[in-house]
Amino acid sequence: MPPRRKLSDLDRGRAIGWLQDGVAARQVAQRLAVAPSVIIRLKQRFHATGRVQERQRSGRPRVTTQREDRFIQRQAMQQRMATANNIRQRLQATTNTVVSGQTIRNRLHNFGLRARRPVRGTTLTANHRAARRAWCTQHVRWQRQQWAQVLFTDESGFCLEPADGRIRVWRRRGERFAEGAVLE
């Protein structure tokens, strides 16, 4: 496994502590599974600045603040079927921040939210519920041998009219059947 290129703040602090206790930079690098050059640069930066945090880097400034990012996440979680452009319009109306739909998708991806096809749930009528209850009361006293003769299958739903096909739900991994993520 190749060595890591970045250290967490906790690991940086541990490395400096070990170096101050007299542990060699090469041994510290082995303990943290990084290249020795990482530890040597960390030691030099600590002696120069007295800090172990990474320096501010240049680059493109973020369009949204952390507060706006949380707003984007909250909008997607409250209205799971909203499109990225709908969320973008709400953000612009609320905060006067102009962003692209791709920026909205990027922020939602950072929160672990992906646009997925919703699960279609069947709507149960009162007749369905009554029929299910009657079936259950008829079979409540069945023995294991009787149940062994039963083959359970799943029904497939078919759509005779062309569906839109563009409906998506924002959800995280494992939230397939979460409230609001099922289309009824």
pTM confidence score: 0.48
Which position has the token pair 């569906």? 163
C-alpha to C-alpha distance for 172 and 72, rounded to whole angstroms: 15
Question: What pLDDT, in 10s, does the model give residues 99-130?
Answer: 999 999 999 999 999 988 888 777 788 898 89
Q: Which residue has the higher pLDDT, 1 or 109?
A: 109
pLDDT at 19: 92
Q: What angle do CA 160, 163, 164 make, to 5 degrees?
A: 165
Question: Looking at this protein, which amino acid is placed at residue 14?
Answer: R
Q: Which residue has the higher pLDDT, 165 or 22?
A: 22
Residue 107's Cβ-count burial label (10 Å; 0-12, 13-18, 19+) is buried
Q: Which residues contact 94 (CB under 8 A, 6 or more apart)?
A: 71
Q: What DSSP letter does each residue of 106-158 carry, written as one string?
A: HHHHHTT-EEEPPEEPPPPPHHHHHHHHHHHHHTTT--HHHHHT-----PPP-
Question: What pLDDT, in 10s, does the model give residues 34-80?
Answer: 989 999 999 998 998 888 887 777 888 889 999 999 999 999 999 98
In this prediction, residue 160 has a pLDDT band, given cuts at 50, 70 and 90, of low
**Mean pLDDT over the full length of the chain:** 85
